[in-house]
Structure 1
Amino acid sequence: MNGCGPPLIVFAGGGASATLAAVALLRSTTWLRLEYRLVIADEHGRHGRGAALARRGRLDAPARVMSALPDRPAHLLEWARRSGLPCSPGTFLPCRVYGDYLSETLSETAAWAEPYAVVALRTDRVLRAAPEGGAVAVSLAAGGMLHAAAAVLATGDPGAGSLPATRLPRPPSSRARLDTCPRGAVLGPDGRAERRLFAVGPVRRDHPGSGPARAGEQAELLAGLITDTVLRSGRR
């Protein structure tokens, strides 16, 4: 966001957690006709996949609990069958296949959300995301600064890469996670929830660890929070 126009939401990271949260946000705001822009910045351009789903191996949860759409629990099964993939409710799909599913679901949801929400996928790394006044200053490795209404830290496992810098106290080690409220707002040095800085996925201290099926619950809560505190409040 550079002064005028619809508010901008920036996701730092484009893996599974970021994708689930972005899909949830698009679905929760479109029926309200809330206008905004969404930028999802992933360092390696693996939108919908991230490092975890780019690897070989299989998911550690069956297909019946891995739908990206909580109100459509058979969505993943339907997608697999349309794609010609053998899949039953108890199938443990390959990680890469699930990454394909998330990437396609994000693209379809983004197309459905237009013209209210406009999604841009960027191959870039967020270096810094810090609240400044009534916005968040987001700097990118490729250069340039985005002035966003909110930023979501979704960089995956903090042990696999560094978190973007913020004006908040830094974690004591690269594997430390961020403290958040139950809905996903990052807690500031005084313990209060930041109004424009959020986190989702393994960067959160309360992340359910190896339980990817619960990631959708976290995404839904975060989407509702951003809708209420950033997008709807700004329209009043």
Structure 2
Amino acid sequence: MADHAAGSGDEPLVAVAGGGASATLVAAHLLRRAGPVPRLLLIDRWGLHGRGQAYSTDDPHHLLNARAANMSGVEGEPGHLLDWTRAQGIEASGEDFLPRPLYGRYLRDLLDTSARGRPRHLTELTGTVLSLAAEPAGGWTLRLADGTSHRADAVVLAVGNQQPGRLPWEPPPPRYIADPWRRGALDAIDDDAPVLIVGTGLTMVDLAISLSRTHPDRVVHAVSRHGLLPRPHHPPPRPPEADLVLPAEPASLRELLRWARLAVRSNGGEWHGFVDAVRPHVPALWGALSDADRRRFLDLVARHWEVHRHRIPPVSAARIEALRAEGRLRVHRGRVDDVRAGAEDRLAVRIGTDHGASELAVGWLVNGTGPAGAPGTDTLLSGLVAAGIARPGPLGLGLDADPGGAVRDAAGRPHGDLFALGPPLRGVRYETTAVPEIRAQAAALADRLAALGRRQVERVP
């Protein structure tokens, strides 16, 4: 294994906490560059380097929620993914929604091929980073759960989505699944008893498809405050993106909503093209809102935006509609008020609505609320905030950072050697969880990290 101490080799060392898409894309963009680059240490708690939890599923019915044309892992090479599929003997078009396990293979291969010309520049390590400590002479010491520590000249927080937040009425396992994306978590659901999923978003869609396949007689319930499900992508041919004229800044939330309604109306009522056109502008629009308006957006608008923005493939939507028509997926609009032990290993769940309450008897309860927004469920992120090394992002979402992803400390000062990308930047950018956004951030961050390698070369006589 390569020496992990900062300054111990000819090149500086960058430690990347994470092993999923965010970590893979920043590593690939750095390793593919010409000229000197720092060494990389990728530390993945799951040992799933390249794929991460999101793309390590083995269910071929779990599909990407974006078309292949948008899912290239290399900025500036939109056909990179499709070129790879053809090289694998897989016929796919840009309009296809590829299986997530296949995309996991693609990310793993992207990491391997990017490192091929620099074999000693990439070290992969399985472990959980618990904390960071700044070194007096510069750089960081990373402490891992196994008691080891590693020094690095710079650190990238590519931890991806956090686990779902704790629910106030969580029953004890085994009848409760707190994190459905933990590897093997759903294996415990081994009978045909009804399942209740808390949440009706993208997580619920994948869970309902998987759980209905393993037991054909199983009934899946899903509950959320709005009862809204993700909308399907428009079938081919896709409508063109709307021709937008952005509102003058600063715009209030009220003005933005009025602008959005008028833009959709001028687009003939076709909203898919509007959502796709506005997506690249979301970070700037979000950043220009006041905190009060951002809070109102989260409370009143966010769920409606999410179901239109984060859409599902038509085939997945058809499967969900079929399950609902068969009575095997039942969506409830309300909230879980209480969970208690029932008869015969069942859970008695009380669901409250604006018009009263009802009770469900289920065998299993799954937290499908999606990733937590505040850094509290991630030991590393919450520890950085507690130590003053980082501070929460706007409205407590993720971490605060400058426009280039440099993490800000408790006083608001950006570090020159501690960075984040992807989901931890949700409070700063809001739109930051999909591959196109993470890919662009990774490319920009690779430019910044490459400067470490150039400075090292300049110091050599």
Taking the aligned partners of 1:120 and 1:43, their CA distance within structure 2 comes to 14
**The one of 417, 420, 443 aligned to 1:196:** 417
* Aligned twin of 1:232: 454
Aligned CA distance change for structure 1 residues 225 and 19 (closer, same or farther; 3 Å): same
Residues 36 and 454 in structure 2, CA contact (< 8 A), matched pair in contact too: no
Residues 181 and 193 in structure 1, CA contact (< 8 A), matched pair in contact too: yes
Indicate the larger mover: 53-62 or 76-85.
53-62
SS at match of 2:84: helix
Residues 391 and 409 in structure 2, CA contact (< 8 A), matched pair in contact too: no
Taking the aligned partners of 2:91 and 2:65, their CA distance within structure 1 comes to 18
Kindly provide the amino acid, as one letter, of the partner of residue 431 in structure 2. P
* Aligned twin of 1:220: 443
* Aligned twin of 1:76: 81
Counting only pairs closer than 5 Å after superposition, residues 1-236 of structure 1 correspond to structure 2 as: 1-2=4-5, 3-5=7-9, 6-28=11-33, 31-34=34-37, 36-55=38-57, 56=59, 57-114=62-119, 118-133=121-136, 134-160=138-164, 162-164=378-380, 165-166=383-384, 167=387, 168-169=389-390, 171=392, 176-205=397-426, 206=429, 208-228=431-451, 230-236=452-458
- Alignment RMSD: 2.1
Residues 154 and 418 in structure 2, CA contact (< 8 A), matched pair in contact too: yes
Taking the aligned partners of 2:436 and 2:391, their CA distance within structure 1 comes to 29
Kindly provide the amino acid, as one letter, of the partner of residue 233 in structure 1. R
Larger Rg over CA atoms: 2
* Aligned twin of 2:206: none
TM-score (norm 1): 0.88
Shift of 1:218: 0.9
Taking the aligned partners of 2:436 and 2:36, their CA distance within structure 1 comes to 29
Deviation string 1:64-122 (CA, Å, 9 cap, x unpaired) is 121112232211111111112221011111111111100011001111234xx510111
Residues 60 and 92 in structure 1, CA contact (< 8 A), matched pair in contact too: yes
Taking the aligned partners of 1:200 and 1:210, their CA distance within structure 2 comes to 9
SS at match of 1:96: helix
Deviation string 1:185-222 (CA, Å, 9 cap, x unpaired) is 11112222101111111112325245322221011111
> Whose RCO is larger (CA < 8 A, sep 6+)?
1
Residues 68 and 75 in structure 1, CA contact (< 8 A), matched pair in contact too: yes
Shift of 1:163: 4.4
Deviation string 1:153-206 (CA, Å, 9 cap, x unpaired) is 11111245514133425649xx84011112111111222210111111111232
SS at match of 1:194: strand
Kindly provide the amino acid, as one letter, of the partner of residue 96 in structure 2. T
Shift of 1:225: 1.5
Shift of 1:47: 1.0
Residues 201 and 207 in structure 1, CA contact (< 8 A), matched pair in contact too: no
SS at match of 2:121: strand
Taking the aligned partners of 1:124 and 1:207, their CA distance within structure 2 comes to 29
- State percent identity of aligned pairs: 37
Taking the aligned partners of 2:161 and 2:105, their CA distance within structure 1 comes to 20
SS at match of 2:54: helix
SS at match of 1:54: coil
Total equivalences in the alignment? 228
Residues 131 and 196 in structure 1, CA contact (< 8 A), matched pair in contact too: no
Taking the aligned partners of 2:68 and 2:162, their CA distance within structure 1 comes to 27
Deviation string 1:127-169 (CA, Å, 9 cap, x unpaired) is 1123222111111122211110011111111245514133425
Residues 61 and 212 in structure 1, CA contact (< 8 A), matched pair in contact too: no
Indicate the larger mover: 159-168 or 180-189.
159-168
Taking the aligned partners of 2:140 and 2:430, their CA distance within structure 1 comes to 24
Kindly provide the amino acid, as one letter, of the partner of residue 217 in structure 1. A
